[in-house]
Amino acid sequence: MEKLWAPWRIEYIARGDLDNDECFLCEKQKDTEHDDDNYVLYRGKFCYVLLNIYPYNNGHLMIAPYRHIGEFEKLIGDEFLEMMKLTKIATSAIEESMGAQGFNIGFNLGRVAGAGRADHIHLHIVPRWNGDTNFMPIIGETKVLSEALRGTYERLRPYFQNE
């Protein structure tokens, strides 16, 4: 098996049971002085948009409500509506700036459904391109990301400036 060094992943792996730590989504939404460092693209009235620092693909975003809730049913109407509005902006921004050809959009509700942070609901937007799943992840068990997070952040940030 080939080895691809990704030392930034150890921070995520070493965290273990994330639900017992301080919620990273709450930490980032409170830290309004460091949006660039935290890859926060936009702050709305009820929700905010940030890059996933452990992305499945380049441009992988998350939209989270400010409220620390884990259940989909507990989203209030304004939170849900703002999430959908921000999803529309995000997909348009990624299509225009990165040429995405499709998207996986959704919630991982609960630990068994793959939620890395089950107690603070968040919507994932994962851009897709024809051929983005090729021999590397299938045979080589390796995922290649072609752009650094900083570059993706700088590419997408202007699309959220006028909202």
149 sits in which H/E element: helix 149-160
CA proximity to 102, closest of 139, 59, 54: 59
Catalytic residue among 34, 60, 68, 122: 122
C-alpha to C-alpha distance for 122 and 63, rounded to whole angstroms: 5
What string of DSSP letters covers 62-74? EEEESS----GGG
**C-alpha 114: how far from chain center:** 14
* Residue 122: active-site member: yes
Residue numbers annotated as active site: 122
